[in-house]
């Protein structure tokens, strides 16, 4: 909400507050220090002759007398007030007191409320004013675009015609082929109905965040040129009971009026989680919303021209009723892009970027395994921001490298200074990873090493798989563990002590070892699935493990894991010991340069030094040759010398 809308929404409340304050001020101004007397006090002052002025006003409606007057001790702005019931005896007492006191001024007024129409006005007008203010406030609220009173209305955003097309969706070749049928149906439904085919009512897009699920749904609507309804699963859930179900009904009502159309529900796991998984198993608001969604999907026909596309990155928590045929008939997995897909994605996002001619998108795609489409877009954007910050006209490889580090680890902590001992420890730790990557075929390939602190890491080694694969052999997994242990082993061999810097390496290595034993059947326990993700959906399935094993088997799992880690550690120690010279070479180069890339590492391993050191040596040799060269004696030009002398003298 912008400032203008905020001011509009607050205006009625501000007016009401000012009105109340004004009324209080007016009341205060007209309040001339009026004191309320009791009956006994009034009679005492009356008999004592202390009353100087008295005004009697009969109140017909309440059958009372309003007495307003002054005492002789009062100031000009002071008075008293008293209400007494109708009584002849009381009037006679006042008359007697008037006769005894000559200064007593008595006034009798008519009741202003005696008229029936005036009484009606006095009773009704305040109510009318209050009602009018209330109506005005609510009218302002509704007129200002606020949806606070629109509880049951659908929050789905309607896009008449999506501008996204398949050209904007890089990669996802198979996924686009899967949804092509939906586009053909939306364009020409008779082609399918004539064959008796039933088009899927719903399509579930499953995949990690940032892989392009939302963009794919928008592209389907753009290719079919049909209205596109967009809503998030969290928009259905409200505090008030029944609001979510009402919004579902309203959304489908609107969709039927604009058919053919497409409904996209993002993050459907917010409303589509398994029922009966809350605390106590209660029938909460979310379950009512889910039930209404299931009912609406059953309520319209397969070929009515409404197609629902939903997206989630948590398919394991969805209610099975959502995924049965007749609701979300088709499930499409949108995985992280491979090398070729990453290159296509980079081409799309590099269209409006000025890149250095030396940068090749193929090389960049190779260096970014595990990056999603959103990560790649962010990578190029960060590189562009860095180029602007450095006052460059184009994005160079230096900005790409820095942007990659920022995306993976965060910005560099330049102000954080190491001690000489810490810097040396980090250098040898990271060099240990590099040595294992160079000496083992199954270990990840080293792309970059740095000892500049980033995020929570004192330094890091960027390692990528030599080849992207869906399946890994046992030997490749073991060598991956060795690569992770290289840092700790290098510390132990070089310094004879270890640090806490390898905690993240141990975490990854232990996870691989456990998966080998419990999931992949790569241990002496045999080809068995001993653990699988399951458990309490309320907590999230990944937090608990469903173990159908005994304590004895659990102990054996721990022993197998320990055996795998220990064997890999001994193997790593042997390799590092045999290549101590290489370890020292890489570490010392790191201490000098702080950051070295894969190309520099390859040149360093092959030649024993960096290429720029070679340039330095050549320059030094040339300077030495010039110094050692015999200097020829030159005969002075007398004429010039004389001229120079003369000039200096002048």
Q: Among all residues, which ones are annotated catalytic?
A: 430
Q: How far apart are CA 635 and CA 633, in angstroms?
A: 7
Q: On the CB side of 480, how many CA atoms lie within 13 Å of its CA?
A: 19
Q: How far apart are CA 234 and CA 232, in angstroms?
A: 5
Q: How far apart are CA 418 and CA 549, in angstroms?
A: 48
- Partner residues linked to 450 by β-bridges: 460, 595
Q: How far apart are CA 555 and CA 563, in angstroms?
A: 12
- The candidate with the shortest Cα–Cα distance to 558, out of 525, 602, 607, 533, is 525
Q: How far apart are CA 435 and CA 586, in angstroms?
A: 8
Q: How far apart are CA 451 and CA 422, in angstroms?
A: 10
Please state whether the peptide bond connecting residue 601 to the residue before it is cis, i.e. omega within 30 degrees of 0.
Answer: no
Whether the CB-CB separation of 332 and 314 falls below 8 Å is answered with no
Tell me which DSSP letter residue 600 carries: H
Q: How far apart are CA 375 and CA 381, in angstroms?
A: 10
Helix, coil or strand: residue 26: helix
Q: How far apart are CA 509 and CA 465, in angstroms?
A: 16
Q: On the CB side of 607, how many CA atoms lie within 13 Å of its CA?
A: 13
Helix, coil or strand: residue 159: strand
User: What is the residue whose two structure tokens read 């020829």?
Assistant: 632
How open is the CA angle 504-509-515, to the nearest 5 degrees? Answer: 130
Q: Cα-Cα-Cα-Cα dihedral of 598, 599, 604, 605, to 10°?
A: 70
Per DSSP, helices labelled H in 417-550 are 420-439, 474-495, 503-518
Tell me which DSSP letter residue 276 carries: T
Q: Are strands 51-59 and 105-108 parallel, antiparallel or unpaired?
A: parallel
Tell me which DSSP letter residue 395 carries: B
Q: How far apart are CA 503 and CA 398, in angstroms?
A: 30
Q: How far apart are CA 449 and CA 583, in angstroms?
A: 13
User: What is the residue whose two structure tokens read 């005994």?
Assistant: 550
Q: How far apart are CA 600 and CA 450, in angstroms?
A: 12
Q: Are strands 64-71 and 79-85 parallel, antiparallel or unpaired?
A: antiparallel
Name residues whose C-beta falls within 8 Å of residue 488's C-beta, 6 or more positions apart in sequence.
429, 432, 498, 501, 502, 505, 506
Provide Rg for the chain, Cα atoms.
Answer: 43
């Amino acid at each position: 909400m912008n400032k203008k809308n905020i001011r509009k929404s607050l205006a009625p409340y501000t007016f009401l507050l000012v009105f109340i304050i004004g009324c209080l001020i007016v009341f205060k101004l007209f309040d001339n220090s009026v004191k309320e007397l009791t009956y006994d006090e009034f009679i005492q002052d009356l008999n004592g002759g202390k009353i100087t002025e008295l005004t009697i006003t009969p109140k017909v409606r309440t059958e009372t007398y309003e007495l307003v007057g002054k005492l002789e001790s009062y100031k000009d702005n002071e008075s008293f007030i008293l209400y007494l019931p109708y009584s002849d005896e009381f009037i006679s007492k006042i008359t007697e007191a008037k006769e005894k006191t000559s200064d007593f001024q008595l006034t009798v007024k008519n009741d202003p409320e005696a008229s029936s129409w005036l009484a009606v006005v006095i009773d009704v007008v305040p109510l009318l004013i209050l009602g009018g203010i209330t109506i005005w406030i609510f009218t302002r609220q509704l007129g200002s675009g606020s949806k606070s009173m629109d509880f049951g209305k659908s929050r789905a955003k309607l896009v008449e015609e999506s501008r996204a097309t398949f050209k904007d969706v890089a990669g996802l070749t198979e996924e686009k082929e899967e949804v092509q049928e939906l586009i053909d149906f939306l364009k020409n439904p008779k082609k399918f109905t004539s064959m008796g085919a039933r088009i899927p009512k719903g399509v579930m897009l499953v995949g990690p965040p940032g892989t392009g699920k939302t963009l794919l749904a928008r592209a389907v609507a753009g290719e079919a040129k049909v209205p596109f309804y967009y809503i998030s699963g969290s928009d259905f859930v409200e505090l008030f009971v029944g609001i979510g179900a009402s919004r579902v009904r309203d959304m489908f009502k609107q969709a039927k009026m604009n058919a053919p159309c497409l409904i996209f529900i993002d993050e459907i796991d917010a409303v589509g989680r398994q029922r009966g998984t809350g605390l106590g198993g209660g029938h909460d608001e979310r379950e009512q919303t889910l039930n209404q969604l299931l009912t609406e999907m059953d309520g319209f026909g397969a070929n009515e021209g409404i197609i629902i596309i939903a997206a989630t990155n948590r398919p394991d928590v969805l209610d099975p009723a959502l995924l049965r045929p007749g609701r979300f008939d088709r499930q499409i997995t949108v995985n992280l892009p491979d090398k070729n897909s990453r290159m296509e994605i980079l081409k799309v996002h590099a269209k409006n970027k000025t890149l250095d001619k030396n940068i090749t998108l193929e090389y960049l795609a190779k260096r970014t395994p595990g990056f999603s489409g959103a990560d790649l877009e962010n990578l190029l954007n960060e590189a562009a921001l860095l180029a602007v910050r450095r006052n460059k006209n184009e994005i160079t490889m230096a900005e790409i490298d820095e942007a990659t580090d920022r995306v993976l680890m965060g910005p560099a902590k330049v102000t954080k200074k190491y001690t000489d001992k810490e810097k040396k420890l980090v250098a040898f730790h990271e060099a240990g990873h590099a040595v294992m990557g160079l000496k083992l075929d199954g270990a990840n390939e080293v792309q970059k090493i740095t000892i500049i602190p980033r995020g929570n890491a004192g330094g890091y080694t960027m390692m990528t798989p030599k080849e992207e694969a869906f399946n890994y052999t046992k030997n490749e997994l073991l060598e991956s563990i060795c690569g992770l242990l290289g840092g700790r082993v290098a510390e132990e061999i070089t310094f004879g002590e270890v640090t806490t810097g390898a905690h993240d390496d141990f975490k990854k290595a232990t996870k691989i070892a456990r998966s080998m034993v419990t999931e992949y059947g790569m241990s002496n326990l045999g080809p068995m699935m001993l653990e699988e993700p399951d458990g309490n959906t309320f907590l999230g399935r990944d937090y608990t493990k469903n173990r159908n094993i005994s304590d004895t088997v659990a102990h054996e799992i721990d022993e197998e894991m320990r055996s795998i880690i220990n064997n890999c550690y001994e193997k790593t120690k042997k390799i590092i010991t045999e290549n101590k010279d290489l370890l020292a070479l890489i570490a010392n180069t790191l201490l000098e340069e702080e950051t070295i890339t894969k190309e520099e590492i390859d040149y360093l391993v092959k030649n024993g030094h960096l290429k720029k050191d070679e340039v330095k040596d050549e320059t030094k040799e040339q300077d030495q040759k010039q110094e050692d060269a015999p200097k020829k004696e030159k005969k002075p030009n007398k004429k010039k010398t004389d001229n120079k002398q003369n000039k200096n003298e002048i």
